[in-house]
Homo-oligomer: A and B are copies of this chain.
Amino acid sequence: MDGGDGSTLTERFRRAGLRVTGPRQVILRVLEESDDHPDVEELHRRVSAVDPRVNIATVYRTVKKLVEHDLIERHSFDAGRARYEAAPTEHHDHFIDVDTGEVFEFRSDEIERMQQELARAHGFEIVSHRLDVYVRRVNRRKRKARKAD
């Protein structure tokens, strides 16, 4: 997941001028190793498995800093807790299965292009965008809703 040169989350974090402390190293590594979209509580759980002394407030503070520096993305698929994902090298959107809570990523250059055109036509330049598509599987017997990602 890291290029080998200087592209680990930790290195980019340091390059952004932020101090790399013990707790932060653990949090950064956990984020980098996660390929799902954990919320802060889940991140804290994973971090605690490595170093149980890290406080959840530190996790909150760290993800906040990471988002400010565009190193990770914050999502609010459902209301309630926010969820995060390691900064994708390439932008993508999300399918959220409403029955299971699972999140799938996808990307459509055509949709990106359309947005670009529309924004320009309205006199705007795009800063960022978010496309969440809530879906359900087809051709399946209805099934019990599970909990989350």
Question: Chain A residues in contact with chain B, CB under 8 A?
Answer: 74, 76, 79, 82, 95, 97-98, 104, 106, 108, 110-111, 114-115, 118-119, 122-139
Q: How far is the CB of A14 from chain B (nearest CB, A)?
A: 27
By the criterion CB–CB under 8 Å, are B127 and A115 in contact?
no
- Of B122, B128, B130, the contact of A106 (CB 8 Å cutoff): B122
Q: How far is the CB of A127 from chain B (nearest CB, A)?
A: 4
- Of B110, B119, B130, the contact of A95 (CB 8 Å cutoff): B119
A76, A118, A139: which has the most chain B beta carbons within 10 Å?
Answer: A118
By the criterion CB–CB under 8 Å, are B108 and A124 in contact?
no
> Measured between alpha carbons, how far is A79 from B75 in the docked complex, in Å?
9
By the criterion CB–CB under 8 Å, are B118 and A129 in contact?
no
